[in-house]
Chains A and B, each alone.
Chain A
Amino acid sequence: MNLRRDVFQAIADPTRRAILLLVAAQSMTAGAIASNFDTARPTISKHLQVLMQCELLGQKQSGREIYYHLNPKKMREISDFIEPFRKMWDDRFNKLQSTMKKYNPTSR
C-alpha cells in the first residue's frame, strides 16, 4: 500500500482542505480555484495534482476548459475512517458485557 499518497496525507494540508471545500460547492477550473488563494498558481496546481492522484478530485472537460469536481465516494471513505476503530472497541465492550452478565462471584 502506498501511504505517501493516501487520502489522509491529502487532507492533512490546510490549502488542500480549502480546495476541497471550494469545489464541494461547484466544479471549478484551476484558474478559478487559484484565484481564491494568495498562493502562486504552480503551487495550487501541485495541490490539485495530489488531490487528483488520491482520487478526491475528478476532472471534466467542458469546451476548452477543464473543471475539477469533488469525488463524493472517496470523501465518504475519509468520513468513515474512524468506523473500524469504533467497531473494534464496540466489539470489545460487547464481549465485556456478555462476559460480566455470565459472571457469578459465588461460584468462584
Chain B
Amino acid sequence: MEQKTKINAEDGKQELEITREFELPVELLFKAHAEPEIVEQWMGTKVLKLESKKHGSYQFRTTDAQGNVLFQSNGVIHEFIPNRKITRTFEMENTPFGVQLEVYEFEKLTDNTSKLNMHVIYESVQQRDQVLKMPFAKGINMAHDRLQEIVSYLPNGHAD
C-alpha cells in the first residue's frame, strides 16, 4: 500500500514535517481538528478542554484500556483561521520532551480532497529525536514484554 502519511525529518534539525492528503473536503478536515467530540474520536484521547480560538487553550488526557492515565497533554492556540491554519503549542505533561510549536496548514485540493501540512518545531535536535524514537522504543519494549510473558508460561520458566 502506498504511504499516505509522509514524515520529513532532516538529520540534525529540530523540526519535522508531517503531510497527508485526505479524501475529505477541507472544511471537514478542519472541523476534525476544531471540535472536541470529533478530536476525541480519531485521536483516541479524552478532550478535557478545547477552546478553538485565538488565545484559547486545550488539554487532553490519554488513558489505557483499564482507565489508568497514561499521559496528559496541553497547549495554547496562537492562531485559528477556519479552514486554513492553526498555530498552537503542545506539551506532554511530566515528560522531558519540552514544549513544541505546531503549525497546521489546511489546503483545499479539490471540492472533495484536501491536504494537511503539519510543521512541528522542538526545543532542540535531541528532543525532536527523542519524540521520533518514542514509538520505536515502545515497540521494542512491547516485544520485550511479550517475550517475558511467553517465557513465564514455559515449563520451569521464571517471570522475574
Residues of chain A having any CB pair with chain B under 8 Å:
1, 8, 81-90, 92-97, 99-101, 103
Contact assessment for A99 and B23 in the assembled complex, using a CB-CB cutoff below 8 Å: no
CB within 8 Å for A100 and B18 given contacts A82-B9, A86-B5, A92-B42: no
B4 touching A90, Cβ below 8 Å: yes
A61-B38 Cα distance, complex, nearest whole Å: 61
Shortest 3 CB-CB contacts between residues of A and residues of B: A84-B135, A90-B5, A96-B42
> Closest residue to B5 on the A side, CB-wise?
A90
Q: Is the interface of A mostly helix, strand, loop or mixed?
A: helix
Q: Give every chain A residue within 8 A of B6 (Cβ-Cβ).
A: 86
Number of interface residues of B (CB under 8 A): 34
A-B contact count (CB 8 A): 75
Per DSSP, are chain B's interface residues mostly helix, strand or loop, or mixed? helix
Contact call A103/B42, Cβ cutoff below 8 A: no
Nearest Cβ in chain A — how far from B4, in angstroms?
6
For the A-B complex with A85-B133, A87-B135, A93-B5 known, give 9 more contacts whose Cβ atoms are closer than 8 Å: A82-B136, A86-B3, A86-B5, A89-B5, A89-B20, A90-B20, A99-B32, A99-B38, A101-B24
A1 with B144: CB separation less than 8 A: yes
Task: Find out whether the CB atom of B38 lies under 8 angstroms from the CB atom of A82.
Answer: no
Q: CB-CB < 8 A to B135: which residues of A? A: 84-85, 87-88
Determine if B150 is an interface residue (Cβ-Cβ < 8 Å): no
Query: In whole angstroms, how far apart are the Cα atoms of A94 and B24 in the complex?
Result: 11
- Between A1, A84, A88, the greatest number of chain B beta carbons within 10 A of the residue's beta carbon is seen for A84
Proximity string of chain B (113-151) to chain A, C-beta cutoff 8 Å, 1 when within and 0 when not:
000100000000000010111111111110010000000
For residue A103, which residue of chain B has the nearest CB?
B28
> Which residues of chain B are within 8 angstroms of A88 by Cβ–Cβ distance?
135
